[in-house]
Amino acid sequence: MVATLMGTIAPRQGLEDALKSIAGSPVVVLITGHPDPDALGSALAHQRICQELGVPCTIANVQPVSHRQNRAMVKLLNIDMLQVQSADDLAPFKYLSLVDTSTAESTIDLPADLKLFSVVDHHKAAEVDCAFVDIRPHMGASSSIYAEYMAHGLAPLESIMGASRVATALLFGIQTDTNDFQLATAADFAAAAYVRRFTDSDVLKRVSRRVYSASGMTVLGRALENMVVVRDFAVAGVGFVTLGDRDAIATTSDFILQREDLDTVLVFGIVEDRIDGSLRTDSPSVEPATFLTTVFGKDRSGKPYGGGRADKGGFQIPLGVLAESEDREALWNIVDQIVRSRLAKVVPEIEREYERQHPDTNGHHHEETSSRFSREF
Ligand SMILES: [Mn+2]
């Protein structure tokens, strides 16, 4: 309880007081982006604390749970979420609580009378103004912060019904955001140790197991087939990928990086109306954000296409009106060629290697590849 040293109240007490002051008013925890384990764990804990204090709380999301493991977590822990399509769906709520972020979902307009009530996060943020704010960038996970509230007596896991659901979600959140505890601080370990006693080991084991879906393996297969290697760098285009499989691009990149002679891997495909890609690197000299900006530049508003905090090394480039093209084969060929020529700025040998490794570029191998893409979608 660091804050007490400064003469202010402990965060746990601050949240309790703030929630007591709105007892009976409906709160929504609207998850920003694709729900991940840390956001889900924090949201469940927030909901449980609200219930304890007589505040009705609903967890909601706009964007789908896109990662297979996260879908398993939602299913195995019975996490009930309101799928929000438009501002109307949020009309029943008076207050908005944000977890694991300090910015609300931007893909929908929030109702004007939905009031920001609380922010609990571990990402650095600009000043936030609402009834309760606890932003601690030194913590490895927002789930660690919520676990700490509970350890300090706010809806303690010892006393609440269904503690194992909340505890398991929190542990999974901490585990995921700290990269299996490699990045965990002493406070994260303390939080994890507290929740660990209440977790459901069977669920944890089932959720943590890394499994490739059939479609994920298809994406991986395409990447291995189309991969071009220049020294320790590899690039692989995977064609069209459905929104539900977009995480396969990142897992494919992770997989290829395991090849011993490679230290930087870029995998890209077309997801809906954009190029969606993932850069993974072990190289001490490659900084993903710089690499991506050098290769792809910035958008019109001056923002880089990649380097978002949610997915380090992930990038998205809108295709604009090109996305409307009905000739998917032609569209893919254009995208594939553009990415390669952009990469040539950083890896000049890429074009030559591509020709060498794909000698049939304008011939039948190419058509075969393309027709496989179009057959699938
Ligand atoms: Mn987080």
Q: In the chain, which segments carry CATH 3.10.310.40?
A: 215-376
pLDDT of 183 higher than 90: no
CA of 62 to the centre of ligand 1 (A): 18
pLDDT of 241 higher than 70: yes
CA of 26 to the centre of ligand 1 (A): 25
One-letter amino acid at 172 equals F
Higher pLDDT, 146 or 313: 146
CA of 54 to the centre of ligand 1 (A): 27
Task: Compute the distance between CA of residue 239 and CA of residue 109 in angstroms, rounded to an integer.
Answer: 32
* pLDDT for the residue 41: 97
CA of 170 to the centre of ligand 1 (A): 11
- The highest-level CATH class for domain 215-376 is alpha beta
* pLDDT for the residue 373: 39
Q: How far is CA 73 from CA 163, 171, 300, in A?
A: 16, 12, 38
CA of 225 to the centre of ligand 1 (A): 35
* pLDDT for the residue 5: 43
Asked if 89 and 21 touch (Cβ cutoff 8 Å), the reply is no
Q: pTM value?
A: 0.60
pLDDT of 305 higher than 80: yes
How many Cα atoms sit within 13 Å of 118 on the Cβ side?
28
CA of 274 to the centre of ligand 1 (A): 25
Short-list 69, 78, 83, 73, CA closest to 30:
83
Distinct helix (H) and strand (E) counts, the chain: 14, 11
* pLDDT for the residue 210: 56
Neighbours of ion ligand 1 (CB under 5 A): 38, 100, 142, 177
CA of 162 to the centre of ligand 1 (A): 23
Q: Residue 368 corresponds to which tokens in the numbers above? A: 């075969």
Asked if 318 and 306 touch (Cβ cutoff 8 Å), the reply is no
pLDDT of 229 higher than 70: yes
Higher pLDDT, 217 or 194: 194
Query: What is 2-208's CATH number?
Result: 3.90.1640.10
For 259-290, the pLDDT digits (tens) are 889 999 999 999 999 999 999 999 988 988 88
* pLDDT for the residue 155: 96
Q: Across all residues in the chain, what is the average pLDDT?
A: 88
* pLDDT for the residue 377: 31
CA of 143 to the centre of ligand 1 (A): 7
Task: Compute the distance between CA of residue 366 and CA of residue 357 in angstroms, rounded to an integer.
Answer: 12
C-alpha of 289 from chain center: 17
Q: What is the mean pLDDT of residues 109-127?
A: 95
At residue 244 the predicted structure's pLDDT band, cuts being 50, 70 and 90, is confident
Total residues belonging to the chain: 377
Q: In the chain, which segments carry CATH 3.90.1640.10?
A: 2-208
CA of 33 to the centre of ligand 1 (A): 12
* pLDDT for the residue 303: 83
For 168-181, the pLDDT digits (tens) are 999 999 999 988 78
Q: What is the mean pLDDT of residues 94-123?
A: 96
Q: Residue 159 corresponds to which tokens in the numbers above? A: 């006393």
Backbone angles phi, psi at 98, to 5 degrees: -110, 135
At residue 361 the predicted structure's pLDDT band, cuts being 50, 70 and 90, is low
